[in-house]
Amino acid sequence: MRNDMRTLVEIDNLHVHFPVTQGIIFKKKINEVKAVDGVSFSIRQGETMGLVGESGCGKTTTGRAILRLLDITDGTITFDGTDISKLSKKEMLPMRLRMQMIFQDPYASLNPRQSVIDIISDPLLAHRLIDRSERKDRVSDLMSMVGLDPRFMNRFPHEFSGGQRQRIGIARSLALNPEFIVCDEPIAALDVSIQAQIINLLQDLQEKIGLTYLFIAHDLSVVRHISDRIAVMYLGVIVEIAKKSALFSNPLHPYTKILLSAVPKPDPKTERQRKRIMLKGEIPSPLHKPKGCPFSTRCPYALPRCKDELPLLRTFDDDHQVACHLIKES
């Protein structure tokens, strides 16, 4: 991946907060869940940006907010030079053609009452890109593209395996010829034997069509395989962004180091020498976030400054960014 590739998606200081209310009839806001709390990063055209972190850290919320499937509290989302953060639903319609999502659960994301031809052709009919007489040919092409037999287009989701259902979801996401796809843990619900097939399919499609991905996952080995750059998220904020080679060879943030220490090594000799860093304590509630660095309550190297002052995401060598008071500029 070249550094001179143009930026397709840019997120600046993104906040997504969910109000916590009290009362049934007269609801009163008493607090808010800060699911995403000041996230900034960019995605270059044609690359795969990995987004990793513990469950509940805000990865899926970030992905959905970028596509404007969720209302944002503050911040800016720019897609191909257009600020989409404040567009109305009607104004977002043309942008929907260019951005799509692959959901995590292939069992829940497909309508069990619809046949495959209905599921895949729905986006095309909704945007009036084809009429009903053309949909069979278009669906046949899309099913072939993702490795499904077009003869099965009249079957229903329950007649397919988990991996096949996820291929149906991928075909649906490709129907409108998008440029950008958010992959929200697309292999997490699949058998290990099927996961590699789906990853290889996504990579093949990216190469053939020129897609740009935001790949959300918690499995670092998968993210390492598919991503060009990786952003590490903790409790609603980005703590580190780097090229995958730099992140795995020279992680800077303590949280990244702890995550990587838990990744098994394929070589038995190297695996025996691996020293795992145990993470103590529980992740704080997004209702009551620490005042300073979000990781300060669990960080084994925290300084007094870390508990009071939020570290900013700073850029170091070769586009390596980290938000940590412990890292000194060279």
What is the per-residue DSSP string for 148-172? --GGGTTS-GGGS-HHHHHHHHHHH
Residue numbers of the domain that contains 188: 7-98+178-322
Cα 144 from chain centre: 26
- Helix (H, G, I), strand (E, B), or coil: what is residue 115? coil
- Helix (H, G, I), strand (E, B), or coil: what is residue 315? strand
Is 201 a member of any domain?
Answer: yes
Domain final position from 150, 177, 204: 177
Q: What's the number of domains the chain is made of?
A: 2
pLDDT at 56: 87
DSSP code at position 57: S
The Cβ of residue 81 has, within 10 Å, a number of other Cβ atoms equal to 9
Is 123 a member of any domain?
Answer: yes
Kindly state whether residues 74 and 188 are assigned to the same domain: yes
Burial class (CB in 10 A: 0-12, 13-18, 19+), 207: exposed
Kindly state whether residues 59 and 154 are assigned to the same domain: no
- Cα separation of 37 and 18, whole Å? 11
Domain final position from 161, 177, 193: 177
Kindly state whether residues 169 and 186 are assigned to the same domain: no
Kindly state whether residues 41 and 182 are assigned to the same domain: yes
The Cβ of residue 155 has, within 10 Å, a number of other Cβ atoms equal to 15
CATH code for position 257:
3.40.50.300
Is 105 a member of any domain?
Answer: no
Kindly state whether residues 11 and 87 are assigned to the same domain: yes
Q: Give 10-residue mean pLDDT values along the chain (330 residues).
A: 77 94 82 92 96 92 96 96 93 94 91 95 91 90 96 95 95 96 92 91 95 93 92 95 93 92 69 68 84 91 91 87 82
Amino acid at 42: S
Kindly state whether residues 163 and 230 are assigned to the same domain: no
Task: From residue 249, give the alpha-carbon distance in Å to each of 177, 256, 257, 266.
Answer: 36, 11, 10, 16
pTM: 0.91
- Helix (H, G, I), strand (E, B), or coil: what is residue 113? coil
Which tokens go with 104?
């995590």
Is 234 a member of any domain?
Answer: yes
Kindly state whether residues 146 and 63 are assigned to the same domain: no
Amino acid at 80: D
Spatial CA neighbour of 233 closest among 103, 42, 102, 40: 40
Kindly state whether residues 23 and 144 are assigned to the same domain: no
Kindly state whether residues 169 and 291 are assigned to the same domain: no
pLDDT at 49: 97
Helices (H) and strands (E) in the chain, counts: 10, 12
Spatial CA neighbour of 210 closest among 58, 1, 51: 1
Domain final position from 141, 157, 177: 177
Kindly state whether residues 133 and 270 are assigned to the same domain: no
pLDDT at 272: 64
Kindly state whether residues 47 and 133 are assigned to the same domain: no
